Structure 1
Amino acid sequence: MRRTVISLLAVGALAACGSPQQAAGGGQDLNVGIVYSQSGPLASYGRQYADGFKAGLSYATKGTGKIGDRKINVTWADDAGDPGKAVSAAKDLIGKGTKILAGSTASGVALQVAPLAAQNKVLFISGPAATDGITGVNRYTFRSGRQSYQDVLTAKAYLGSGKKVLVFAPDSAFGASNVAAVKAVMTDATVTDIAVPASATDFTPFASQIKAARPDLVFVAWAGTTASAMWQALDQQGVLSTTKVVTGLDIRSTWPTFGQAGGKLQLIAHYFDGAADNDAYRALKAAVPGGVTDLFDPDGFAAAQMIVHALRTSPDDVDKMVGSLEGYTFDSVKGSLTVRSEDHALLQPMFQATLTVDGGTVTARRTGEVTDAAPPAAAMKG
């Protein structure tokens, strides 16, 4: 039986301490705090989220940045991917009267900020953080991106009929989330895992472990600055050349790291430029630097749309904001999105794609759309 290698994206949020942007109007401002990865290993993801948020805020408010005559005042804070810094920044914002928090590129960060939302009764919209643990964690927490379970459900079409599955992922909240998701989806398979230290830079020993285990399917969940070294090691050890490869599509800057192998991959994609075409996409495309959208721009865009909707419903009552988002369906960059009422999962289309390699140019082409990637409903914890 041919073995399959599947690689999915990791995602977690880092936060950046920026200077508060105080607007005219004093206490009339509607304050929003964005705690995200302005620096650190996921800074490129954070930058895309921030670009998307700014574009989404303009789109949702028709360029005014206001709800009625009240300005939406955004304060940006950097946690550098450190949950402790994120909690400190969130507490500082809450202490200053901020009733809405968003951001969280890193899963570990999101899991620490979410409890603060419930404790202080503020609205929290997590960003690219993919951990399934955010869904249903409490009634004040939502998400504007996808979760690991949706990645796995999208990948399922590529997985084949193997019975022996190995999950290759970092030893982190994100990695654990992927292991749990694979076990939940691949119920008829034996699932084991290799948890790689997040600080690892030499992946050759781990690639050798994959070959020695001889699984029918290898599910690789990885993201960040070490992804290139990881894929190079798997390639050098013959993992990629001897198996069918299914991998998650990361940000555009990583595409060339696949080399000529990129054209042989079957990809699952949260998003890439051109995966969808609608008014929101065109507004985002016109706003982002260079006019080319990327992986996590839609997460920021959707977060801004959700915040504007909540503020329009009730600019000062958080419980009414929460109620307005439960069951909310809206058109965004990826297409139609729905916040599931019972656990706040964000139901959304997921994409299948292939890469075309022409000399030094790598482009992605959509080959399919998975509309039924809804994770099982989670019980709301608080």
Structure 2
Amino acid sequence: MSERRLHGFAENAGFSRRVFVASTVAAALLAAAGCSSPQEAAQGTGGDGAPVKVGLVYSQSGALASYGKQYIDGFKAGLAQATNGTNKVNGRAIELLEADDAGDPAKAVSAAKDFIGKGVKILAGSASSGVALQVAPVAAQDKVLFISGPAATDGVTGVNRYTFRSGRQSYQDVLAAKSFIGDAKDKKVVVFAQDSAFGKANEAAVTAVIGGAGAKVSAILVPASATDFTPFASQVNAAKPDLLFVAWAGTTATAMWGALDQQGVLGSTTVVTGLDQKASYPVFGAAGEKISFLSHYFDGATSNDAAKAASAKITGGLDLFSPDGFNAAQMVVRAIAEGGDDVEKMVGALEGWSFDGVKGKMTIRKEDHAMIQPMFQVKLVGSGAAAKPQLVKELAPEEVTPPAVAMK
């Protein structure tokens, strides 16, 4: 699992250490939540005919630019779908203002404040967790709606009543990893990662979630300077884990996977890592077919109406964070349709709302604004440029529902 990619459990901000409170029963939540289509939401009331400005602050450059491209393409496809191609809600045009945060929280905060000064009451975007955690307090201070994007940190959930998310969070990733071993009680889980902040954050995440479910978690942390991974692969074999969770960053990934394969690790235990964007598939080489992948999304994971609509509008098809942008646009349309220019009404309109997204049924939990959603088990078929993901199992929202947190 790449550090650069936000599928990592603690990208930028580190794994959330917040105290979790009792979780709302997912099935009851899904049954009770209001549900409507984006098109129905666009027929809401309110508005004086003036355009509605929406500020999109996301990565157009920098390390996360590819994720930002996926997000904005998804957003524009979702906006077209939710407004029947008009980009209007209740007769009011939606005016998009875009700014590049380059993955820099300071730039993001500056852009957000600039947009707010121009009368923007809805902000969206952020691929970086560090960015999301800095923009969220600005939204609360100025009482504007903020819909965070692919940023994975658990810290965004429940951070304040004005902040929502359109993607998944780290806890859902870890629960997806846990699904590969079923009941975790007394299972041996080893985290294989680099000896860095990123690696240690992943160790902490797995310890908290899977270890908290009764597994015995240990870690093999490899120096970032290592080029020979055979000794570390031997340590894995000696540990005889029921699950090996791999979190890796950088250019040594192919060599690392090759060593695990050559030493028989991939054939002796369940090896799980996260599936990144399309461009990353070749990095696994011949080892790819022996790895179990947890997935937020991949092109072809679903074939519902939203996925078909998004795919038809995005050149090159969908990718990892296309659903996050698509969801955000649907949420923006819902907020405007039901709230007009009243941010408090926008918040109320989104809390508890269920809608059909690219991934399937999405529900915004009222208590803390977590996005309850499916996740996926995936395998890669083929290697190199021919590697393609194939769905193994869709994990129902209730299987990967994070515990609720107290709203700050």
Does 2:143 correspond to 1:121?
A: yes
SS at match of 1:351: strand
> In the aligned structure 2, how far is the partner of 1:170 from the partner of 1:310?
44
User: 1:362: how far off?
Assistant: 1.3
SS at match of 2:387: strand
> In the aligned structure 2, how far is the partner of 1:211 from the partner of 1:75?
53
Partner of 2:282: 256
Give the AA of the match of 2:105. P
> In the aligned structure 1, how far is the partner of 2:201 from the partner of 2:100?
25
Identity of aligned residues (%): 54
Partner of 1:184: 209
Q: Report if aligned partners of 1:8, 1:220 keep a CA contact under 8 Å in 2.
A: no
Does 2:265 correspond to 1:242?
A: yes
SS at match of 1:337: strand
Q: 1:314 to 1:181 in 2, by over 3 A?
A: farther
> In the aligned structure 1, how far is the partner of 2:150 from the partner of 2:263?
28
Partner of 1:110: 132
Partner of 2:319: 294
Give the AA of the match of 1:376. P
Q: 1:352 to 1:43 in 2, by over 3 A?
A: same
The RMSD of aligned alpha carbons is 2.9
SS at match of 1:313: helix
User: 1:170: how far off?
Assistant: 8.5
Q: Report if aligned partners of 1:125, 1:144 keep a CA contact under 8 Å in 2.
A: yes
Q: 1:181 to 1:328 in 2, by over 3 A?
A: farther
SS at match of 2:78: helix
Partner of 1:347: 372
Unpaired runs of 5+ in structure 1? 1-6, 14-25
Does 2:37 correspond to 1:51?
A: no
Q: Report if aligned partners of 1:8, 1:248 keep a CA contact under 8 Å in 2.
A: no
Within a 5 Å distance, the mapping from 1:1-382 to structure 2 comes to 9-10=7-8, 28-159=50-181, 162-166=187-191, 168=193, 176=201, 179-180=204-205, 182-187=207-212, 188-191=214-217, 202=225, 204=227, 212=235, 216=241, 217-221=243-247, 226=250, 228-236=251-259, 241-243=264-266, 244=269, 245-290=271-316, 292-357=317-382, 360-371=385-396, 372-381=399-408
Give the AA of the match of 2:7. L
Aligned residues: 356
User: 1:207: how far off?
Assistant: 8.4
SS at match of 2:382: strand
User: 1:259: how far off?
Assistant: 0.9
> In the aligned structure 2, how far is the partner of 1:170 from the partner of 1:107?
21
Q: Report if aligned partners of 1:351, 1:369 keep a CA contact under 8 Å in 2.
A: yes
> In the aligned structure 2, how far is the partner of 1:55 from the partner of 1:360?
27
Give the AA of the match of 1:235. G
> In the aligned structure 1, how far is the partner of 2:165 from the partner of 2:215?
30
User: 1:185: how far off?
Assistant: 3.3
Q: Deviations over 1:351-380 (max 9, x none)?
A: 111111067411111111111210001110
SS at match of 2:161: coil
